[in-house]
C-alpha cells in the first residue's frame, strides 16, 4: 500500500509544548505505527513542500492520504487542495485528523464550512463506539479514554455522515461526532477528531488501532478512476 502523510509540521517547530510531545513531528509518530501495522510505503510532506512536491504523479500512485493541519491551512494552495479532492473522487482514500476538519481539501469534499466549537483548555475525553460492525471499529473496545484532549463541540457543520462510527464525551460537558465516514466519488473518507498537538494522542494504542483500521478501510478496493467519465453514450434501446 502506498501512503502519503501530510503533516503541517509548523507547531512542532515553533512551539516547545508541541515539540516536547512530537520532537520529530506528528508525522514521525504516524509513520512509525503505520509501518508496524501495515505493509506500506510512506511518503511524507509538510507545509514547506506540499504545494510543489505532492504532485499528480505522486497522488496517482497513492492509495491513502492522511492529513493533519492547523495553523497553515491557507498556505496550502487552492490548486493543491483541488488535486487532493480530485484524487479522492477517483478512489484515493483520505483520513482527516483533528484540526484537518478546516483543511482546504476537507472543505472541498464536504461542501460545508466544517466549523465546530472548541475550548482553549484540555479536558478528559471518552470515545464511544456507536457503529460496532463498521470496519473502522473492529477490535476497538466499547469505549476508551484519552486523559487530555482539546474539546471539539457540536454542532459540527458537516453533511450527515454516511456512517457515524464514534461519539466523543468530554468532561467539559460537550459531545462530538468524533468518527465519521463519508464517500465522495470512488473515494472513502474518514474524519477522526482526536489529536491536539500538545497531547500525546497519536501515541495512544487504541487511537493507533482506529487509524490503522481507517487506512485499511479507505484503501481503494477497485481500480482508481472517475465514477463516470461524462462522455456521451449510445442508446441501449434504439
User: Interface residues for a second copy in 107-166 (CB under 8 A)?
Assistant: 108-113, 115-121, 123, 126, 128-133, 135, 138, 142-143, 145, 151, 153-157, 159-160, 162-164
Minimum CB separation of residue 31 from a second copy in Å reads 27
- Residue 2 has a CB neighbour count (10 Å cut-off) of 17
User: Measured between alpha carbons, how far is 125 from 172 in angstroms, rounded to an integer?
Assistant: 9
Site for a second copy in 54-93 (CB under 8 A): 85-86, 89, 91
CB 178 within 8 A of CB 153: no
Instruction: Return the residue matching grid coordinates 497519536.
Output: 202
Site for a second copy in 24-53 (CB under 8 A): none
Long-range contacts of 32-36 (CB under 8 A, 24+ apart): 33/202, 33/208, 33/211, 33/212, 34/3, 34/5, 34/66, 34/211, 34/212, 34/215
Number of residues that bind a second copy (CB under 8 A): 71
Whichever of 42 and 207 has its CB closer to a second copy, that residue is 207
Whichever of 28 and 153 has its CB closer to a second copy, that residue is 153
Minimum CB separation of residue 208 from a second copy in Å reads 20
Containing 105, the helix (H) or strand (E) segment is helix 104-110
Whichever of 205 and 234 has its CB closer to a second copy, that residue is 234
CB 166 within 8 A of CB 130: yes
Binding segment for a second copy among 12-20, 47-55, 179-187, 192-200 (CB under 8 A)? 179-187
Whichever of 89 and 201 has its CB closer to a second copy, that residue is 89
User: Measured between alpha carbons, how far is 131 from 156 in angstroms, rounded to an integer?
Assistant: 19
Whichever of 23 and 225 has its CB closer to a second copy, that residue is 225
Among 33, 48, 51, 183, binds a second copy (CB under 8 A): 183
CB 37 within 8 A of CB 212: yes
Instruction: Return the residue matching grid coordinates 464511544.
Output: 128
Instruction: Return the residue matching grid coordinates 515539540.
Output: 19
Site for a second copy in 200-229 (CB under 8 A): 221-222, 226-229
Among 16, 57, 173, 205, binds a second copy (CB under 8 A): 173
Amino acid at each position: 500500500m502506498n501512503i502519503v502523510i501530510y503533516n503541517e509540521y509548523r507547531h512542532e517547530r515553533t512551539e516547545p509544548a508541541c515539540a516536547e510531545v512530537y520532537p520529530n513531528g506528528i508525522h514521525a509518530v504516524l509513520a512509525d505505527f503505520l509501518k508496524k501495522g501495515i505493509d506500506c510505503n510512506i511518503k511524507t510532506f509538510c507545509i514547506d513542500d506540499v504545494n510543489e512536491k505532492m504532485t499528480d504523479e505522486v497522488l496517482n500512485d497513492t492509495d491513502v492520504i492522511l492529513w493533519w493541519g492547523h495553523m497553515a491551512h491557507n498556505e496550502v494552495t487552492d490548486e493543491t487542495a483541488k488535486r487532493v479532492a480530485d484524487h479522492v473522487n477517483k478512489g484515493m482514500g483520505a483520513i482527516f485528523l483533528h484540526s484537518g476538519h478546516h483543511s482546504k481539501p476537507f472543505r472541498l469534499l464536504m461542501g460545508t464550512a466544517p466549523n465546530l466549537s472548541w475550548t482553549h483548555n484540555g479536558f478528559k475525553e471518552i470515545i464511544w463506539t456507536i457503529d460496532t460492525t463498521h470496519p473502522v471499529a473492529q477490535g476497538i473496545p466499547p469505549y476508551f479514554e484519552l486523559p487530555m484532549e482539546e474539546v471539539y463541540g457540536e454542532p459540527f457543520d458537516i453533511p450527515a455522515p454516511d456512517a457515524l462510527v464514534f461519539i466523543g464525551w468530554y468532561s467539559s460537558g460537550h459531545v462530538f461526532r468524533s468518527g465519521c465516514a463519508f464517500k465522495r466519488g470512488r473515494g472513502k473518507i474518514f474524519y477522526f477528531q482526536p489529536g491536539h498537538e500538545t497531547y500525546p494522542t497519536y501515541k495512544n494504542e487504541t487511537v493507533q488501532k482506529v487509524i490503522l483500521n481507517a487506512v485499511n478501510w479507505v484503501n481503494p478496493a477497485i481500480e482508481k478512476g472517475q465514477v463516470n467519465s461524462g462522455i456521451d453514450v449510445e442508446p441501449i434501446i434504439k
